[in-house]
A and B are shown apart, each in its own frame.
Chain A
Amino acid sequence: MAVFEHTYRNYAGPLTPEWSRFLIIPRHAFRDVFKSKLFTAFFALCFIPLLVEAVMIYLHHNVNALGVLQVNIRELIPIDATFFQTFVNLQSGFAFFVTLLVGPPLVSRDLRNNALPLYLCRPFSRTEYVAGKMAVVLLLLSLMTWIPQLLLFLFQSYLEGARWMIDNLWIASAIFIGSVVWILLLALLSQAISALVKWRVVASGVLLGLFFIPSVFGEIVNQLFRTRWGNLISLGALMRTVTAGLFGTFQATTTFVTDFDGQVVRRVLSEPPLWCSWLVLFFVCALCLAILSAKVKAYEVVK
């Protein structure tokens, strides 16, 4: 119907499937996010390490290029679990900064302007709303973490051969699980903070503080007690531990308790066990979900 026919009428056309409606939010959000040239430039910058990774994999298998460069890159940088882990950690850092820019305003902007009743008065649940908002962060971060990393894994497999791929399939699963856990944590934290703090700048500050302030305290605990249990309050350290566990590079360090004569009395585990790190991450995610469940409501009831 043309716009000049100004009468009220019902809609009788086809409807989109219910399951797909949460994806409407990221579709509209991406349009806003990429309006900023600064963000677009930064997002493009995040792919540079991946480009370097691709070049290194390529050089690793290009004998002519290695001859020209006169370096034995095969021995210098072997393509193994540590190689992929390094780049996963690097991309995780970039993912954190992308989250800082994109995550905080997603829910807070709606809360500040009372937009939630507009969403929730439609056939659109609170779960779909949260899923939609999280999808904005998850899709963006997936594009710069596990998706290109897995493509590079396939590239390496293509160059190295099917045998290498079968032998190292666990690396692919480590890339996927490690990245997904990290971006899920970032998405949940940024949405929970966004739901608690209505101002974007403050929300970004809180997210930044949440990663760095506990890290400082954790390090103080580590230094004071000559342990590494302080890592349990540092989200960054937790993720590094979990990633190391997935890539098989986790080492449980121990210290020796000695008496005044220097005799070893007993050996203690200075590093928290791997399951502790997983447990803390699980707890943080559960806490974020609880916050979102409490705050994402059409109207807050004053009791």
Chain B
Amino acid sequence: MATAAAIPTAPAIQDRRNFAPVVDLDGLSVTFGGRPILKELRGELRGRAIGLLGPNGAGKTTLIHTLLGFHSPSSGTAHIFGKDIITDAKQIRALIGYMPERDAFIAKMSAVHLVRLMAELSGLPPEAALERAHEALFYVGLGEARYRGVDTYSLGMKQLAKLAQAIVHGPKLIFLDEPTNGLDPPARARMIRLIREIRDSGQANIVLSSHLLRDVEECCEEILILKDGRIVTYCNLEEERKANRKFLVLETRGDQTKFAEAVSALGCEYALTGDHRVKIVLQEGIEVRDLYRIAADQQMQIRRLSYKRDSLEDIFLKAMENSHGGF
């Protein structure tokens, strides 16, 4: 069994080689009570928005906590923007914002007071901290409720308050741990929109840990999949989708069998799925117009044609299946 997981290099990552990696994992291992949680993680994470995926207990939260300096590595280290997490912990934390998974607030404290306190602890002078606390709360949509105690907030509002305190000091890297946990659909949509806005501002990199594939799919450009404390996949989502073979689903009228045989003669795999549907895997050099030509030759109608690319779920499941021990 391999001790370190090699990260496949996606083409898009190659383009960013000139920039310092956001997170550089250098044989990072973490052990709790003799039980290995993270096992010699290696790789360079360079994306603007990186999704951390993995089943429960894969080590996603432990990885974030270790990068934040909450846990000491048992061996190896990691670098964030080139700074070592062991020796430069304070400098790193000045560049980071963190939204914890669990409820986290100070009782009997209003949101604006809490966010201001957190800004001051990040080094902002009191006046600037107060100004940015107001701004951050307006930005996340808690402007009207900013003088209310955080302990009186609904779950969705608490999540937004946690996001506000994570961004109040304008960090360059934001760790978001399960940001949509417990949110209803409108609140989730709002949270996703905020995360995408922050990502698109280009002012901060985001590491989003979630077990919800849809959240990661909507927000992240790159994904890191962990399983049993190891990296099983690190890829650029778009590149990975493009790199995967294209599936076509055709809805037809006419004799499918002859059409399928003709397609097979071109080297394409096919499957007849009933209900006048044919699934085809296009080979290199074969275009859609070739299919229309064959269909015309076989006097068959193509009523509908749709691409079916690999979804994140497919990538995730594939990663789980390909990893040691299966899924």
Binding site for B on A (CB under 8 A): 1, 3-16, 18, 21, 24, 28, 32, 109-110, 112-115, 117-125, 297-299, 301-303
**Cross-chain contact of B90 among A13, A125, A302 (Cβ < 8 A):** A125
- A112–B109 alpha-carbon span in the complex (Å): 14
B117 touches A113 (CB 8 A): no
B170 touches A123 (CB 8 A): no
Residue ID in chain A nearest B139 by CB atoms: A6
By a CB distance below 8 angstroms, the chain A residues around B120 are 16, 21, 24
Q: Which of B134-170 contact A (CB under 8 A)?
A: 134-135, 138-139, 143, 151, 165, 167, 169-170
Interface centre among B65, B125, B131, B135 (most CB of A within 10 A): B135
- A114–B103 alpha-carbon span in the complex (Å): 7
- A3–B65 alpha-carbon span in the complex (Å): 32
Residue ID in chain B nearest A5 by CB atoms: B135
By a CB distance below 8 angstroms, the chain B residues around A9 are 170, 201, 203
Contact A123-B124, Cβ < 8 Å, known A112-B107, A299-B70: no
By a CB distance below 8 angstroms, the chain A residues around B96 are 121
- A54–B201 alpha-carbon span in the complex (Å): 63
Contact A123-B123, Cβ < 8 Å, known A1-B131, A8-B204: yes
Contact A15-B123, Cβ < 8 Å, known A8-B204, A117-B100: yes
By a CB distance below 8 angstroms, the chain A residues around B122 are 122-124
Contact A11-B128, Cβ < 8 Å, known A121-B96, A297-B70, A298-B65: yes
- A124–B171 alpha-carbon span in the complex (Å): 15
- A10–B172 alpha-carbon span in the complex (Å): 7
Contact A28-B117, Cβ < 8 Å, known A13-B128, A14-B125, A122-B93: yes
By a CB distance below 8 angstroms, the chain B residues around A121 are 68, 70, 93, 96-98, 100
Q: In whole Å, how far is B97's beta carbon from the nearest beta carbon of chain A?
A: 8
- A28–B107 alpha-carbon span in the complex (Å): 13
By a CB distance below 8 angstroms, the chain A residues around B169 are 11, 122
Contact A117-B125, Cβ < 8 Å, known A8-B201, A301-B32, A301-B71: no
- A118–B164 alpha-carbon span in the complex (Å): 12
Q: In whole Å, how far is B147's beta carbon from the nearest beta carbon of chain A?
A: 14
Q: In whole Å, how far is B93's beta carbon from the nearest beta carbon of chain A?
A: 5
A3 touches B108 (CB 8 A): no
By a CB distance below 8 angstroms, the chain B residues around A11 are 124, 128, 132, 169-170
Beyond A8-B204, A113-B106, A125-B90, 9 additional pairs, beta carbon < 8 A: A10-B203, A16-B124, A109-B107, A117-B104, A118-B105, A297-B70, A298-B68, A301-B71, A303-B32
Chain A contact residues: over half helix, strand or loop, or mixed? loop
- A113–B198 alpha-carbon span in the complex (Å): 27
By a CB distance below 8 angstroms, the chain A residues around B121 are 21, 24, 119, 122-124
Q: In whole Å, how far is A194's beta carbon from the nearest beta carbon of chain B?
A: 13
Return the 5 tightest CB-CB contacts between A and B, nearest first. A303-B33, A11-B170, A15-B123, A10-B170, A121-B98
- A263–B107 alpha-carbon span in the complex (Å): 68
Is B113 in the interface zone, CB < 8 Å from A? yes
By a CB distance below 8 angstroms, the chain A residues around B151 are 113
Query: Can you give 27 contacting A-B residue pairs, CB < 8 Å?
Result: A1-B131, A4-B138, A6-B138, A8-B139, A10-B203, A11-B170, A12-B170, A15-B124, A21-B120, A112-B107, A113-B107, A114-B102, A114-B104, A115-B104, A115-B105, A117-B70, A117-B98, A117-B100, A118-B165, A119-B121, A121-B100, A123-B121, A124-B121, A124-B122, A299-B70, A301-B71, A303-B32
Is B94 in the interface zone, CB < 8 Å from A? yes
Residue ID in chain A nearest B64 by CB atoms: A121
Residue ID in chain B nearest A22 by CB atoms: B121
Q: In whole Å, how far is A96's beta carbon from the nearest beta carbon of chain B?
A: 24
- A25–B188 alpha-carbon span in the complex (Å): 33
- A294–B113 alpha-carbon span in the complex (Å): 28
A110 touches B106 (CB 8 A): yes
A122 touches B118 (CB 8 A): yes
A3 touches B138 (CB 8 A): yes
Is B35 in the interface zone, CB < 8 Å from A? yes
Interface centre among B69, B71, B118 (most CB of A within 10 A): B118
B32 touches A123 (CB 8 A): no
- A110–B94 alpha-carbon span in the complex (Å): 21
Q: In whole Å, how far is B170's beta carbon from the nearest beta carbon of chain A?
A: 4
Q: In whole Å, how far is B90's beta carbon from the nearest beta carbon of chain A?
A: 5
Is B297 in the interface zone, CB < 8 Å from A? no
Residue ID in chain B nearest A12 by CB atoms: B170
Is B311 in the interface zone, CB < 8 Å from A? no
Produce 1/0 per residue, B66-78, CB < 8 A to A. 0011110000000
